[in-house]
Every structure is written in structure tokens, then in C-alpha cells.
Amino acid sequence: MKNLLKKEILLTMHPTAILFLFLSALLIVPNYPYYVTFFYTGLAVFFTCLNGRENNDVFYTMTLPVAKKDIVKARFILIIILELLQMLIAVPFAFIRQNIGLPGNAVGMDANIAFFGFSFILLGIFNVVFFGIYYKDVKKVGKPFAVSSVVIFVYICIAEICAHIVPFVRDCLDTSDNMYVTEKLVVLIEGIIIYAVMTAIIYKKSRRNFEVYDI
């Protein structure tokens, strides 16, 4: 697995995947739909899979002494690392944004603890939609990205609208982190669990789909 991860990082991962990680800094912008930051993570996944397709990655990897299921495992580990790094790098910027004395985000959700919970759900949904389609036919990268982008767009719209019109989200979750910490922590933990469960399920399904896929 170490070798496959090395292959993923040195050959397959698109360089923009690293650049997009730094877009976590968008959380410092005073007014911005902060969820969009995690759309860029999806874009990095898309570019990486596209880079793989354009470079005959599956053929190359299949000639190596590796099991087919491990090819999927390595890709998922890389993607999970990227997603978690995106979150991790975003934390200090969210902290700074909350403490520079400006009013809350006028566009939608504040970059607070609950926001990270909702963002985990966003990434979980992305993984399910993108990899659910991608591993049925790894030659078609555009379709999973198009469908997952639409789904993510709808999710972001709903999440941001809720921050304006649903009283619990607006008055409790979309607030500064010195208020309603327990409620926000519950959302964060639930978000992490949903992300983990969704990713685990789609990982298993992807392994099955790729196993029967003819290259």
C-alpha cells in the first residue's frame, strides 16, 4: 500500500490538488459562501482522476504486482488525506475570521464548528456521488464530476438558505463559536460520522465495481 500511495502522490495526483488545499484560506474572507471552499476539494479529486485517465494510470498500475482492490484503496486514502487536510488547514482561518471583530458572514453560514460538521457531510455526499459513478467506468471522469457538482451545488444552496430562514440554524448554529457550543459540537460529530459512514460504504461499492470492470 505504501508503494501505491507513493505512486498516487508522485504520478497521479494533479499538482492543483496541493494548490486547492490553500484555498482553505477563503474562510478568512469576511463575506463568502464558505462551503464553496470544499467544492475545490472535489475539483482536486476530479483533476486527479482525469490526470490518471489521460496518463493511462489504470493500465500502468494493473501491470504492477498489486491487487485490483488495492488500487481503489490507494485512491481513497489519497482522497481522504486531501479532504482532511483541506479541513485541517481551514481551521486556523476560521478561527482568525471569528476573532477579527467583524460581524458574521452576510452571505450565509459562519465559519464555525457547525459549519465544519456540515462541510463533512458535503464531502461525504461528494464521495458517494463521484465515486459511485466513477468506478463503474473509470474512462468517464466528466460524468461523475458533472453530477457531483450539481448535487453539491444544491446542497450548498439548501445549507445557505437554511442559515437564513430555518430558525434553529439561523439563531443557534449560524453564530459565533462562543455561543451554543454543545449544539455545534453535536453537528460536527454527526457530520464526521456521516462522512465516515458514507465514504466507507462507497469505498466498498467502488471496490466491487472496479473488480468486475474490464480495462
| Residue 192: closest CA among 124, 100, 98 | 124
Q: What is the contact mask toward other proteins in residues 4 to 43, using x (rule: CB under 8 A)?
A: --xx--xx--------------------------------
Residue closer to other proteins by CB (options 12, 119) is 12
Would you count residue 57 as binding other proteins (CB under 8 A)? yes
CB of 6 to other proteins, least distance (A): 6
Alpha-carbon 136 to chain mean position: 20
Closer of 106 and 212 to other proteins (Cβ): 212
d(CA 149, CA 180): 32
In Å, how far from its chain's centre is CA 97? 21
Report the residue from 66, 89, 186, 192 that binds other proteins according to the rule CB under 8 A: 66
Among 63, 101, 167, 178, binds other proteins (CB under 8 A): 63
List the grid coordinates of 18: 496541493
Q: How far is the CB of 85 from other proteins (least distance, A)?
A: 22
Of 1, 15, 31, 56, the one binding other proteins (CB under 8 A) is 56
What is the grid cell recorded at 92?
A: 486556523
Q: What is the DSSP string of 158-197?
A: HHHHHHHH-HHIIIIISS-TTSSHHHHHHHHHHHHHHHHH
115, 191 in Cβ contact below 8 A? no
- When asked if residue 189 is in the footprint of other proteins (CB under 8 A), the reply is no
Q: How far apart are CA 155 and CA 128, in angstroms?
A: 14
Of 65, 101, 103, 167, the residue at the interface with other proteins (CB under 8 A) is 65
Which residue from 1, 19, 30, 60 is in contact with other proteins, where contact means CB under 8 A?
A: 60
Residues that bind other proteins in the complex, under the rule CB under 8 A? 3, 6-7, 10-11, 55-57, 59-60, 62-68, 212, 214-215
